[in-house]
């Protein structure tokens, strides 16, 4: 089907309207001057009232970063980023350290309400009215630009010894835990963007689940970039002590702006003996318009360490936003019998680019990993699955299964699969399956003949294609993700 | 009532339908027979509104409406159903989900209230049972891994659920052995009603032993060249399409 001029107009209209999170909020903020140097790093650290060791760590990272170059191996292209032309700190102005939600700027709360985040505990409770004794299902930490503004259900979690707070707060209140684990999975020398994050990260979430505790609700962080010309560098650290369990959700949105904004986050997960961490992301940063103007550069380092035996880390991601995505949530399977999982749906439309995948590093005996990647490309988008499965000599009996499926919509997009497999143990079993398919005119006509509109048909077919991954998401996210899949592809056929 | 007048249609720039005239009243079952390349499938696609099938002349009036002005999904909601010769596979989408999406899309179009999961399941169970189908087929992805017979039965089930006013059966017998054919035909016969009209398109007379039509038409070179009762089908079976200037052996 050749694209008719009307179709192109339609696609444009749809894409420009459909990003419903594209509003900005008028909030006075405290912004650091543009540019990046040691003074800015010191400024951020001072703003956060950080201990000396953390400032030193940041400065070491900054010095290393100055000697590093942007990675060039990913199949994405963009004009050079001027790292001196951005603000590295922006915080909504408010009384220092809100004691409760009542002290949070009402504008902020209104913004989160618009995003559909149940920030107020009352609202969440209202949602479960009538079901007495049933515990609420989500606790939320909200990060606005670079600062955590509110965390719900803290008190309830504290009763069980669970720590869920902003990382800046954890630095003050639980310095030993932070010092022990920060940078222990992603070292400050890791890569260009992660190292930059170490130098300038401003906030993020911190979670500690004590031994033997099963976290009774989903923990969730919503990230929001609001301020113009700012980068967002949040840092998340989750520690699941022996025998514990936690499920963590992450959601992201940003206003519609013509310039590109950088998001370089770092997420570190640590699972001890018999512990399980389930980490789910629905990423819906502003993707730019149909011509590729604006949008978020999502350059993120996510890594989990299965340190203990029988531990498990499971990543589930639904990536629909961002102009460019560069992201490889990985697992280091160190403990014997530990399990790593990666379930991914990545959707790119218009001129979006995504180079995403995972790394599974098998170190311990009988370690197992599963990779299921579903890539959907439409418009003029380019998408690459890039994955590494590495079996080290001592990983006796290690197993991996990888399944990589691509779905193309239209004839101007691309899908690429780049698997790297390295095995240094003869007993390892590694399987890789890959398929590429197109949504056919036959399928669309069949659906339309049954009364289903073309756009609903695309959504139905794509949701079917992603089902294996979407079913891994917690209930609260699954419905949202299904809708998002439909919205992201609206106007992609015509 | 469906009135097809002087219908001309092109596919890939080539004239396929060259003036088809046909009137179908409620409750009637019409069979269209004809040699390969006569335009049988083109007629069904034109009526269903498939892209790439360009109407160059003529009209189709469907219960007073200009059918050709409607989008395919609008035609479906108005009660036009096409049982496909080759039902399409949709991986990952459960039959149940597909049917529920379809029926609710149509209800929405007609300004009716959408069915909730319980209401829908009740209808689905009734119809499935009536057709002697297993629940297992409902859970499987649409037509994926279905045998030829299962695919055609699935089309019949969809027809039973969507309750069309006008059903077009495109070569429903193709790819079926005699047992499967009988089962599918029984299903179709159970759906015959005074309000529902059907257009049965087939190459062979065999199907018409089981789905007995009220009228038989011969389509050759893009036009209906002969019409008659069900006995016309038997005549064709005996003499082939030679009388209409077509050499089947060619």
Residues 6+ apart with CB under 8 A from B113: B107
Q: Which residue of A has its CA nearest to B109?
A: A451
pLDDT of A14 reads 40
pTM: 0.80
* Mean pLDDT, rounded, for A177-202: 94
pLDDT at A136 over 50: no
The predicted-structure confidence for A266-311, as pLDDT tens digits, reads as follows: 999 999 999 999 999 887 777 777 777 777 888 899 999 999 999 9
pLDDT of B108 reads 92
Average pLDDT, chain A: 81
Interface list for A 407-446 with B (CB within 8 A)? 440-443, 445-446
Residues 6+ apart with CB under 8 A from A129: none
Q: Cβ A449–B76 below 8 Å, yes or no? A: yes
- Look at domain B2-244 and name its CATH class: alpha beta
Is A486 within 8 Å of A456 (Cβ atoms)? yes
* List of chain B residues whose C-beta atoms are within 8 Å of the C-beta of residue A450: 76, 98, 102, 105, 158, 162
The predicted-structure confidence for B180-193, as pLDDT tens digits, reads as follows: 888 889 889 989 99
The predicted-structure confidence for A85-129, as pLDDT tens digits, reads as follows: 888 877 665 444 444 555 556 665 665 555 555 444 434 333 333
* Mean pLDDT, rounded, for A3-18: 43
> Can you give the residue ranges of every domain in chain B?
2-244
End-to-end CA distance of chain A: 8
Residue A322 CA to residue A319 CA, distance in Å, equals 8
Identify the band that residue B159 occupies on the pLDDT scale cut at 50, 70 and 90.
very high
Is A141 within 8 Å of A101 (Cβ atoms)? no
Half-sphere exposure of A359 (CA within 13 A, CB side): 13
**What does the CA dihedral A186, A191, A196, A198 come to, rounded to 10 degrees?**
20
Q: State how far residue B107 is from chain A, nearest Cα, in angstroms.
A: 9
Nearest to B93 among A445, A449, A461 (CB): A461
B109 touches chain A (CB under 8 A): yes
pLDDT of A3 reads 39
pLDDT higher for B198 or A322? B198
Which CA distances in Å does A291 have to A198, A416, B16, B217? 33, 22, 41, 54
pLDDT at A29 over 80: no
pLDDT at B249 over 80: no
The predicted-structure confidence for A51-82, as pLDDT tens digits, reads as follows: 999 999 999 999 999 999 888 888 888 888 88
pLDDT at B204 over 70: yes
pLDDT at A222 over 80: no
pLDDT at A8 over 50: no
The predicted-structure confidence for A329-350, as pLDDT tens digits, reads as follows: 999 999 999 999 999 988 888 8
pLDDT of A13 reads 41
The predicted-structure confidence for A191-211, as pLDDT tens digits, reads as follows: 999 999 999 998 888 999 999
How is A66-108 classified by DSSP, letter by letter?
HT------SS---PPP-TTSSBS-EEE--SSS-SSGGGS-HHH
* Mean pLDDT, rounded, for B88-103: 92
B81 touches chain A (CB under 8 A): yes
pLDDT of A127 reads 34
pLDDT higher for A256 or A396? A396
pLDDT at A442 over 80: yes
* List of chain B residues whose C-beta atoms are within 8 Å of the C-beta of residue A456: 101, 105
pLDDT of A144 reads 60
pLDDT of B196 reads 95
pLDDT at A380 over 80: yes
B146 touches chain A (CB under 8 A): no
Q: Cβ A450–B141 below 8 Å, yes or no? A: no
Residue A246 CA to residue A131 CA, distance in Å, equals 23
pLDDT of A473 reads 80
């Amino acid at each position: 089907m050749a694209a008719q001029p009307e179709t192109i107009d339609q696609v444009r209209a749809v894409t420009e309207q459909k990003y419903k999170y594209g509003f900005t909020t008028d909030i006075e903020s405290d912004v650091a001057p543009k540019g990046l140097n040691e003074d800015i790093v010191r400024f951020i650290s001072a703003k956060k009232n950080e201990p000396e060791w953390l400032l030193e760590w940041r400065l070491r990272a900054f010095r290393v970063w100055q000697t590093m170059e942007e990675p060039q191996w990913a199949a994405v292209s963009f004009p050079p980023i001027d790292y001196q032309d951005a603000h590295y700190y922006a915080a909504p102005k408010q009384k220092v350290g809100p004691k409760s939600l009542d002290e949070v700027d009402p504008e902020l709360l209104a913004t989160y309400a618009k995003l559909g985040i149940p920030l107020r505990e009352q609202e969440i409770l209202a949602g479960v009215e009538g079901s007495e004794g049933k515990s609420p299902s989500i606790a939320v930490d909200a990060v606005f630009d670079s600062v955590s503004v509110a965390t719900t259900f803290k008190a309830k979690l504290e009763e069980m010894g669970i720590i869920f707070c902003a990382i800046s707060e954890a630095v003050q209140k639980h310095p030993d835990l932070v010092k022990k684990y920060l940078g222990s999975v992603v070292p400050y020398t890791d890569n260009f963007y992660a190292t930059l994050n170490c130098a300038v990260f401003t906030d993020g979430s911190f979670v500690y689940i004590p031994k033997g505790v099963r976290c009774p609700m989903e923990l969730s962080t919503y990230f929001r970039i609001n301020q113009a010309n700012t980068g967002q560098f949040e840092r998340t650290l989750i520690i699941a002590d022996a025998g514990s369990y936690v499920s963590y959700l992450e959601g992201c949105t940003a206003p519609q702006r013509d310039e590109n904004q950088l998001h370089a986050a770092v997420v570190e997960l640590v699972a001890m003996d018999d512990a399980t961490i389930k980490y789910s992301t629905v990423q819906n940063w502003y993707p730019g318009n149909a011509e590729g103007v604006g949008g978020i550069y999502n350059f993120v380092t996510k890594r989990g360490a299965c340190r203990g035996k029988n531990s498990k880390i499971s990543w589930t991601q639904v990536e629909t936003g961002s102009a460019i995505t560069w992201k490889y949530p990985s697992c280091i399977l160190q403990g014997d019998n530990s399990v790593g999982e990666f379930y991914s749906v990545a959707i790119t439309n218009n001129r979006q680019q995504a180079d995403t995948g995972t790394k599974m590093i098998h170190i311990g005996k009988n370690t197992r990993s599963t990779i299921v990647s579903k890539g959907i490309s439409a418009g003029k988008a380019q998408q690459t699955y890039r994955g590494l499965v590495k079996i080290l000599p001592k990983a006796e009996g290690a197993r991996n299964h990888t399944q990589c499926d691509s779905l193309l919509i239209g004839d101007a997009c691309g899908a690429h699969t780049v698997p790297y497999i390295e095995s240094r143990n003869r007993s390892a079993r590694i399987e890789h399956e890959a398929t590429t398919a197109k949504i056919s005119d036959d399928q669309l006509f069949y659906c339309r003949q049954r009364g289903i509109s073309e756009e609903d048909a695309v959504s139905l077919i794509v949701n079917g294609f992603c089902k294996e991954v979407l079913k891994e998401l917690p209930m609260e996210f699954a419905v949202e993700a299904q809708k998002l899949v439909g919205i992201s592809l609206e106007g992609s056929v015509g | 009532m469906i009135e097809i007048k002087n219908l001309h249609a092109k596919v890939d720039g080539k004239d396929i339908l060259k003036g088809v005239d046909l009137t179908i009243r409620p409750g009637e079952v019409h069979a269209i027979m004809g040699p390969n390349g006569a335009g049988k499938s083109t007629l069904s696609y034109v009526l269903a509104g498939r892209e790439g099938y360009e109407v160059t002349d003529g009209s189709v009036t469907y219960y007073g409406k200009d059918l050709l002005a409607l989008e395919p999904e609008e035609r479906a909601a108005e009660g036009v159903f096409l049982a496909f010769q080759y039902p399409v596979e949709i991986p990952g989408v459960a039959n149940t989900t597909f049917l529920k999406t379809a029926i609710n899309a149509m209800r929405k179009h007609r300004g009716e209230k959408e069915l909730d999961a319980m209401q829908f399941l009740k209808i689905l169970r009734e119809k499935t049972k009536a057709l002697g189908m297993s629940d297992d087929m409902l859970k499987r992805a649409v037509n994926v891994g279905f045998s030829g017979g299962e695919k055609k039965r699935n089309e019949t089930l969809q027809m039973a659920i969507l309750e069309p006013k006008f059903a077009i059966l495109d070569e429903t017998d193709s790819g079926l052995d005699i047992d499967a054919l009988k089962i599918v035909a029984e299903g179709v016969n159970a759906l015959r009603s005074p309000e529902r009209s059907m257009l049965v398109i087939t190459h062979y007379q065999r199907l018409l032993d089981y789905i007995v039509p009220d009228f038989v038409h011969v389509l050759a070179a893009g036009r209906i060249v002969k019409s008659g009762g069900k006995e016309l089908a038997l005549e064709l079976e005996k003499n082939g399409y030679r009388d209409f200037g077509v050499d089947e052996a060619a």
